[in-house]
């Protein structure tokens, strides 16, 4: 888009190259600086000194777990023009933990590009894709997309799929896909990957699972699925939830964190299961597997909610208002 950029290799280089930064900001008439990592708030003193008229905005992408009411934190947060929370769940937590006034912080949902995440496969193309994944027409496929790391609920997913498969009476078979990089340089916890595979092997259920590895075309792969599972216990927002919804897929998510507000407290756009309870997830899988009509109706409602609430165009429009440019 020909937007001018200046890239610094680290926070240290920002401090060392402050004159270059100062000149660049002035030349490009920068009016707002938007921080996205809490560790980068260490730069607030520098920006306050260099650019007293520039508005400083910070998005808190995580839940602030520990109260931040020290003199240093109060000084830093008082100099922020706005603090953005990514869900009502994080907003409530951040109001308790951060030294900000209610009028200084607001909720802004993340938005996804509906030109990328949209149902794009014909029924024929979908069947070809499913066949390439080893799926038969009557098989029921569920996947857990995302980084394989602690806190994402992979162990709960594995046990839930096994429980579901034991209950499943057909037609077709149950198959589960774990979608995400398997190596450390792909964001995975390699020890967890080894532990998951060992657990599956110990249970003797290897045919039920496929570890896809890193997937460059997630939106295409998801369209081969019948449902998506997001078992994270404390999701601050749940981008993977919204991406699945944008493809018209029903989601089974944890009834905790921000997931209920995305799916709807009554499960309008997906089913909610008790976190850390494989049987609860297995029951939700079974309910969706037994009813293609239910999967279709939930998926349609989910798609409509993404269009009205989680689209990127709406996000950018709200962000401009926050910047007040």
Torsion sign, CA atoms 103, 104, 110, 114? positive
Domain 123-309: CATH class, spelled out = alpha beta
Domain boundaries, the chain: 11-108, 123-309
pLDDT tens figures, 26-53: 999 999 999 999 888 999 999 999 999 9
Q: Which of 234, 214, 197 is nearest to 146 (CA)?
A: 214
What is the distance between the alpha carbons of residues 98 and 101, in angstroms, rounded to a whole number? 9
Mean pLDDT over the full length of the chain:
93
3-class SS letters over 231-271? CCCCCCCCHHHHHHHHCCCCEEEECCCCHHHHHCCCCCCEE
The per-residue pLDDT for range 92-143, each reduced to its tens digit, is 999 999 999 888 999 999 999 999 899 999 999 999 999 999 999 999 999 9
* Contact between 112 and 306 (Cβ < 8 Å): yes
Q: Do domains 11-108 and 123-309 have the same CATH topology?
A: yes
Strand 251-254: give its sheet, edge to edge: 209-213, 174-179, 140-145, 227-230, 251-254, 270-273
Please, which pLDDT band fits residue 324 given cuts at 50, 70 and 90? confident
What lies within 8 Å, CB to CB, of 22 at 6+ separation is: 50, 51
Superfamily of domain 11-108, CATH level 4: Glycogen Phosphorylase B; (3.40.50.2000)
Residues 6+ apart with CB under 8 A from 285: 142, 160, 161, 164, 174, 227, 229, 252
Convert the pLDDT of each residue in 230-274 to its tens digit.
999 889 999 999 999 999 999 999 999 999 999 997 778 999 999
How confident is the model over 161-220, as pLDDT tens digits? 999 999 998 788 999 999 999 999 999 999 999 999 999 999 999 999 999 999 999 999
Task: Compute the C-alpha angle 73/77/78, nearest 5°.
Answer: 115
Q: Which residues contact 280 (CB under 8 A, 6 or more apart)?
A: 160, 273, 274
Task: Supply the pTM of this predicted model.
Answer: 0.89
Cβ contacts of 169-172, under 8 Å, gap ≥ 24: 170/138, 171/138, 172/136, 172/137, 172/138, 172/139, 172/140
pLDDT of res. 241: 96
Please give the distance of CA 304 from its chain centroid, rounded to a whole number: 18
């Amino acid at each position: 888009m020909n937007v001018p950029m200046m890239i610094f290799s680290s926070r240290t280089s920002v401090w060392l190259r402050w004159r270059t930064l100062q000149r660049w900001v002035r030349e490009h008439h920068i009016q707002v600086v938007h921080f996205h990592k809490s560790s980068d708030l260490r730069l607030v003193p520098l920006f306050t000194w260099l650019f007293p008229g520039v508005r400083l905005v910070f998005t808190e992408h995580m839940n602030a777990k520990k109260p931040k009411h020290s003199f240093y934190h109060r000084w830093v947060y008082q100099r922020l023009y706005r603090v953005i929370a990514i869900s009502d769940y994080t907003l409530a937590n951040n109001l308790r933990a951060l030294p900000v006034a209610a009028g200084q912080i607001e909720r802004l949902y993340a938005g996804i590009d509906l030109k990328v995440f949209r149902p794009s496969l014909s029924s024929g193309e979908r069947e070809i894709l499913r066949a390439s994944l080893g799926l038969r027409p009557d098989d029921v496929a569920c996947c857990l997309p995302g980084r394989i790391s602690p806190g994402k609920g992979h162990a709960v997913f594995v046990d839930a799929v096994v429980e579901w498969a034991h209950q499943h009476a057909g037609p077709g078979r149950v198959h589960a896909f774990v979608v995400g990089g398997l190596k450390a340089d792909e964001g995975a916890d390699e020890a967890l990957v080894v532990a998951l595979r060992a657990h599956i092997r110990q249970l003797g259920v290897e045919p039920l699972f496929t570890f896809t590895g890193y997937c460059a075309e997630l939106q295409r792969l998801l369209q081969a699925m019948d449902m998506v599972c997001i078992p994270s216990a404390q999701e601050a927002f749940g981008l993977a939830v919204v991406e699945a919804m944008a493809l018209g897929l029903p989601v089974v998510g944890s009834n905790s964190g921000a997931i209920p507000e995305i799916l709807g407290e009554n499960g309008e756009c997906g089913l909610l299961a008790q976190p850390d309870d494989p049987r609860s997830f297995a029951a939700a899988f079974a309910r969706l597997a037994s009813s293609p009509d239910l999967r279709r109706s939930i998926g349609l409602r989910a798609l409509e909610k993404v269009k009205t609430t989680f689209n990127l165009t709406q996000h950018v429009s709200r962000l401009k208002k926050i910047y007040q440019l």
